[in-house]
Amino acid sequence: MEQAPGFPNTDELVARNAQYGKTLDGTHFDVRPSRSLAVVACMDSRMDIFAILGLENGEAHIIRNAGGAVTEDTIRSLCLSQRFLGTREILLLHHTDCGLYKLNENEFNADLQQELGVRPSWALESFDDPYADVRQSIRRLELNPFVKHKDDMRGFVYNVDTGLLDEVLPAAKQAVGGGQAEGNVGDV
């Protein structure tokens, strides 16, 4: 893999932070998100979660990982977010053209084992369909006892080409509502 221009980045980023610090006006945000919202999203660098959702600093917790997967660490973060920091709503945000899309987990693990002599203890969480993956994530949260507030939970697939959100109905609502032709209900 080629090295990115300007690599490594840390010194430049620390200098940028010094400039950023000069722009702050002394406003102190409450640690509790003002919208009582937690967003679980993919770590993809093309996704500016605040811009995509029109959020401002201090309005939501943003929990990110590869694929926006609902893992044990995601559950840990949501549990803390809800029980100690007042969030009540969960928004799941996956996207098109994800790096985990159609990645072969068995091959990935075999490559790591060959290189390192050990397979990872964690699941890669690759998938074939981002809409089905959002439904699975919703179901994992519905079944988890540590996630206290589940009534206001919705999932979306962000289209990286159009910038629009496509809402994904949970499997139970999809069956009652007549289904979704390609797993989605249309751009929001």
**10-residue averages of pLDDT along the chain (188 residues):** 77 95 90 97 97 97 97 98 98 96 92 96 94 96 97 98 95 60 47
- What pTM was computed for the model? 0.87
93 found inside a domain:
yes
7 found inside a domain:
no
18 found inside a domain:
no
The enclosing domain of 128 has a CATH number of: 3.40.1050.10
Q: Which residues of 143-167 are buried (b: 16+ CB within 10 A; e: fewer)?
A: ebeebebeeebbbbbbbeeeeebbb
Peptide bond before 145: cis, by omega within 30 degrees of 0? no
Strand order in the sheet with 165-168: 60-65, 37-42, 89-95, 152-158, 165-168
pLDDT of residue 15: 96
137 found inside a domain:
yes
Structural domain span for residue 36: 30-177
- Are the C-beta atoms of residues 70 and 40 closer than 8 Å to each other? yes
Q: Name the β-bridge partners of 90.
A: 38, 153
- Determine phi and psi for 154, rounding to 5 degrees: -135, 155
114 found inside a domain:
yes
- How many domains in the chain? 1
31-54 per-position pLDDT tens digit: 999 999 999 999 999 999 999 999
185 found inside a domain:
no
pLDDT of residue 1: 58
Distance CA 116, CA 114 (A): 6
